[in-house]
């Protein structure tokens, strides 16, 4: 099922499933609880998504597509790749600002061995989107050349996602800010 085919109650299901997955991961994505949250019968979810795996794959796909759009908006809004790089951690901080949620991809990546193949593919796509955007921004800003840009992009992505994980585990958004400040101080993130 393509995201474009999801409308109306399908969108409400995806939104509620995203919130649920951000709080509890794939294994915590409970169809009965989801149906109750959306205000429909559990069987109605299967009208839109053939299985829990299809639902989770659609959620992860929507999540990485939204993330890609947000990163492109970030680039367009600043017009300066260095400014965009400085603002990149904000994209992860927003999840923490919403009831101490975590990046859906990080949550699902932690459950990687238990994910259906279709969900694994979408979770990997989220990381790929972030790393590709970081790499382009690093090269465009002159922070690094083509050589070493992928490794630096991976390190930044892992560090920012890790800062989010630590902050969520302590319900302390200030810890996230402190870690990001430290990454800037040591030169991993542009200052």
The pLDDT value given to residue 7 = 55
Residue ranges and CATH numbers for the domains of the chain are 53-185 (1.10.357.10)
Q: What is the pLDDT of residues 163-187, one digit of tens each?
A: 999 999 999 999 999 999 999 999 9
Q: What is the pTM of this model?
A: 0.87
Annotate the chain with DSSP letters as a single string.
--GGG--THHHHHHHHHHHHHHHHTTTT--HHHHHHHHTS-HHHHHHH-SSHHHHHHHHHHHHHHHHHHHHHHHHHHH--HHHHHHHTTHHHHHHHHTTT---HHHHHHHTGGGS-HHHHHHHHHHHHHHHHHHHHHHHHHTSS-STTHHHHHHHHHHHHHHHHHHHHHHT-HHHHHHHHHHHHHTTSS--
Q: What is the pLDDT of residues 125-161, one digit of tens each?
A: 999 999 999 999 999 999 998 889 999 999 999 999 9
Mean pLDDT of the chain: 91
Q: What is the pLDDT of residues 48-107, one digit of tens each?
A: 999 999 999 999 999 899 999 999 999 999 999 999 999 999 999 998 998 888 888 787
């Amino acid at each position: 099922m393509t995201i474009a085919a999801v409308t109306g109650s399908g969108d409400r299901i995806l939104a509620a499933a995203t919130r649920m997955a951000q709080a509890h991961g794939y294994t915590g994505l409970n169809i009965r609880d989801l149906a109750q949250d959306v205000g429909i019968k559990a069987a109605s979810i299967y009208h839109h998504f053939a299985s829990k795996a299809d639902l989770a794959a659609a959620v992860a796909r929507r999540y990485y597509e939204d993330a890609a759009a947000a990163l492109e908006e970030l680039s367009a809004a600043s017009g300066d790749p260095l400014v965009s790089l400085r603002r990149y951690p904000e994209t992860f901080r927003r999840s923490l600002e919403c009831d101490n949620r975590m990046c859906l991809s990080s949550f699902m990546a932690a459950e990687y061995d238990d994910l259906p193949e279709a969900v694994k593919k979408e979770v990997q796509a989220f990381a790929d989107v972030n790393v590709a955007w970081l790499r382009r921004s690093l090269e465009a800003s002159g922070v690094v050349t083509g050589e070493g840009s992928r490794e630096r992009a991976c390190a930044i992505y892992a560090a920012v996602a890790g800062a989010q994980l630590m902050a969520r585990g302590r319900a302390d958004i200030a810890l996230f800010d402190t870690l990001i400040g430290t990454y800037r101080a040591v030169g991993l993130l542009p200052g």
